[in-house]
Structure 1
Amino acid sequence: MAQNNHSCQSLIPGFLYSSSVSSSYNGGVPQLLQQSKLSPPSNSCDHGVLSKNFVIPAPSEKIEMFSPAYYLACTAGGVFSCGLTHMTVTPLDLVKCNMQIDPSKYKSITSGFGVLLKEQGARGFFRGWVPTLLGYSAQGACKFGFYEFFKKYYSDMAGPENAAKYKTLIYLAGSASAELIADVALCPMEAVKVRVQTQPGFARGLSDGMPKFLRSEGYSGLYKGLVPLWGRQIPYTMMKFASFETIVEQLYKNVIPTPKDQCSKNLQLGISFAGGYLAGILCAIVSHPADNLVSFLNNARGATAGDAVRQLGLWGLFTRGLPLRIVMIGTLTGAQWGIYDAFKVFVGLPTTGGGAPAPAVAKP
């Protein structure tokens, strides 16, 4: 029986992206029969597992699910997803950071843009775009690539029934583990980016900003904001991934009248964007105090978290710059999920969400 485990495992991938047994059919013909053309049927699969909808035949794919190539594709998708979107919203991020650091000067979104335009011209709106692009590309690679890895890893540890029963906990654990690694990749560029954006005259960008930062703070200064960054990004990412997975699953279950595998790719990508936008609003609210803290610490040499609380106040820590961040993060998160899933579709993979994590088939 053990020798036939491979045939059972070949049925796993489709489950990850399917929410109902009906998704295993295409025009009334079970995909399992189509798959049998490639490999002979095996009696070793647990039919009880099939009846509980834990294993569903995989769609036709260019890349084998959960293979090294699959995780590499998810990593590449994360690079495009996070790097390009964060670079695009650099003007919003610039105003937001300055509102957090100097609220007396940058009193609102409109006045903030006006001050920047007057003092730095139109080019000033994209100050710090290079460290933003590089930092968030590295972060996105680790965030999405490791999330897919840890989601599968924790599902295998839990087993089929527990993976379905506690799927939200698996989403939370997988995303937290991934972000812990991703922030180590992001932190140096984030430190330089904030300094360039909030201290006029400090540097034009990364090329002169990084050497100047190192002379001033040393290499350890690049990671001064790591713990606050974890405090901001880990809750943010846990909310981002768990709420996205839950929202998308509910949309396919209660709003979309057609099973996911019968929806057009454009509709699936639209659902990814909508789910991402709604998840982004929740992310912004949960992570905003830590975001204020990160901006404060990276702007002032030798500053501590206590200094930030005393200067900003608890209410300011939770509210300063929040409306702009909700708009920015909602749009950003929606676009990220849309781009990420569009990349997956491009390389022949299913879009994310619509079901529980895919555990390995239980050992006999």
Structure 2
Amino acid sequence: MSKKEKPLFSLIAGTTAGAIEAFVTYPTEYVKTRSQFSGKKEGPWTIIRSTVQQKGLTGLYSGCMALVIGNSLKAGVRFVSYDHFKHMLADAEGKVSAPRSLAAGLGAGMMEAIFAVTPSETIKTKIIDDAKSPSPRFRGLFHGTVTIVREEGLSGIYRGLFPVMMRQGANSAVRFTTYTTLKQFVLSNARPGQSLSSGMTFGIGAVAGLVTVYTTMPLDVIKTRMQSLEARQAYRNSFHCAYRIFTEEGITRFWTGTTPRLTRLVLSGGIVFTVYEQIISLLGGRASQ
């Protein structure tokens, strides 16, 4: 008899896991975003050193609350959507094939891009871009959001929606397919009734994060450029942005920020799936079908 996560418990577990992961890994997200802006290339350690010297350790958390809130919403939407799509696509025994898991992940990624990721990441990116100025305009999450909406309208916090949808769809499709495939493989070789340990769950989640980074990095770079403060003047749309990066900076620029993003997603995959599974287990959040 198959097990399905109860939607409410899946939402609670997903939002909690997302918030914890965002706060723990935020400095890597800050460094990645800074490295992807146009202009002079800066290495991760250069960005960390200059930020700490100018702003202190708290400088590495510029825009953090936007991501924590957005990430908790994103994880909640992701897990609820994925569990819903996965259940719809499961076979009679409750198993999900790799292609169906890919489709479920793609659907979950689209949902999270529209309802959570695009506005939160646009605000986060603009705050980080603004924070590197000697005299930042934004005084925090609320002031920054109000200023952006006042000057650019609601479209200002939905800038870069297309590359975000593409990236999130690809992220979730690759990540969940890798995670589900590895999890089913490990369980199929385990003793009947044996569950995955936290260490094994973390390891599988980390591998899923690793695979995700290299396949979706170009979309992440385009997303960051489209959400920067100069995007309205520099790029007509996402395709024009990609064209300019390719012709003016070279193809390798699409993988700028790989190291900090890799660090974050490997940790993220482990943290999110481990926290999620633990909370679901504590809540007794899986119901028999």
State if a TM-score over 0.5 links the two structures. yes
Query: What is the aligned partner in structure 1 of residue 98 from structure 2?
Result: 168
Query: What is the aligned partner in structure 2 of residue 289 from structure 1?
Result: 218
The structure-2 alpha-carbon separation of the partners of 1:244 and 1:12, relative to structure 1 and needing over 3 Å to count, comes to closer
Query: What is the aligned partner in structure 1 of residue 123 from structure 2?
Result: 192
**Larger displacement relative to structure 2 (312-321 or 334-343):** 312-321
Query: What is the aligned partner in structure 2 of residue 7 from structure 1?
Result: none
Alpha-carbon distance in structure 1 between the residues aligned to 2:161 and 2:201: 30
SS of 1:295 mapped into structure 2: helix
Judge conservation of contact 1:297–1:308 (CA < 8 Å) in 2: no
Amino acid at match of 1:337: F
Alpha-carbon distance in structure 1 between the residues aligned to 2:241 and 2:72: 31
TM-score, structure 1 as length reference? 0.71
Cα distance, 1:168 vs structure 2: 1.1
Aligned residues: 277
* Structure 2 unmatched runs, 5+: none
User: Share of identical aligned residues, percent?
Assistant: 21
The structure-2 alpha-carbon separation of the partners of 1:184 and 1:146, relative to structure 1 and needing over 3 Å to count, comes to same
Alpha-carbon distance in structure 2 between the residues aligned to 1:191 and 1:146: 22
TM-score, structure 2 as length reference? 0.88
Alpha-carbon distance in structure 2 between the residues aligned to 1:268 and 1:235: 28
Amino acid at match of 1:330: V
Amino acid at match of 1:270: G
Judge conservation of contact 1:293–1:317 (CA < 8 Å) in 2: no
**Larger displacement relative to structure 2 (200-209 or 280-289):** 200-209
Query: What is the aligned partner in structure 2 of residue 249 from structure 1?
Result: 184
Task: Tell me, yes or no, if structure 1 residue 123 matches structure 2 residue 58.
Answer: yes
The Cα offsets for residues 12-63 of structure 1, whole Å up to 9 and x where unpaired, read as: 43xxxxxxxxxxxxxxxxxxxxxxxxxxxxxxxxxxxxxxxxxxxxxxxxxx
Task: Tell me, yes or no, if structure 1 residue 328 matches structure 2 residue 264.
Answer: yes
Query: What is the aligned partner in structure 1 of residue 278 from structure 2?
Result: 342
* Structure 1 unmatched runs, 5+: 1-10, 14-64, 351-357
SS of 2:231 mapped into structure 1: coil
Cα distance, 1:253 vs structure 2: 3.5
Task: Tell me, yes or no, if structure 1 residue 76 matches structure 2 residue 6.
Answer: no
Task: Tell me, yes or no, if structure 1 residue 278 matches structure 2 residue 207.
Answer: yes
Alpha-carbon distance in structure 2 between the residues aligned to 1:228 and 1:349: 34
Cα distance, 1:248 vs structure 2: 1.6
Cα distance, 1:297 vs structure 2: 0.6
Judge conservation of contact 2:187–2:194 (CA < 8 Å) in 1: no
Amino acid at match of 1:233: Q
1:151 aligned residue (86, 101, 110) = 86
Alpha-carbon distance in structure 1 between the residues aligned to 2:138 and 2:252: 28
Alpha-carbon distance in structure 1 between the residues aligned to 2:271 and 2:219: 23
Alpha-carbon distance in structure 2 between the residues aligned to 1:202 and 1:247: 46
SS of 1:89 mapped into structure 2: helix
The Cα offsets for residues 254-289 of structure 1, whole Å up to 9 and x where unpaired, read as: 4x5x34x235xxx52222111100000001111111
SS of 1:145 mapped into structure 2: helix
What's the C-alpha RMSD, in Å, of the aligned pairs? Answer: 2.2
Alpha-carbon distance in structure 2 between the residues aligned to 1:93 and 1:103: 19
Amino acid at match of 1:189: S
Judge conservation of contact 2:33–2:224 (CA < 8 Å) in 1: yes
Judge conservation of contact 2:10–2:285 (CA < 8 Å) in 1: no
Highest CA radius of gyration, 1 or 2? 1
Cα distance, 1:247 vs structure 2: 1.1
Alpha-carbon distance in structure 2 between the residues aligned to 1:221 and 1:102: 19
Alpha-carbon distance in structure 2 between the residues aligned to 1:231 and 1:75: 23
Judge conservation of contact 1:191–1:298 (CA < 8 Å) in 2: yes
Cα distance, 1:112 vs structure 2: 1.2
Judge conservation of contact 2:210–2:265 (CA < 8 Å) in 1: yes
Cα distance, 1:216 vs structure 2: 2.1
Judge conservation of contact 1:296–1:308 (CA < 8 Å) in 2: no
Alpha-carbon distance in structure 2 between the residues aligned to 1:146 and 1:117: 39
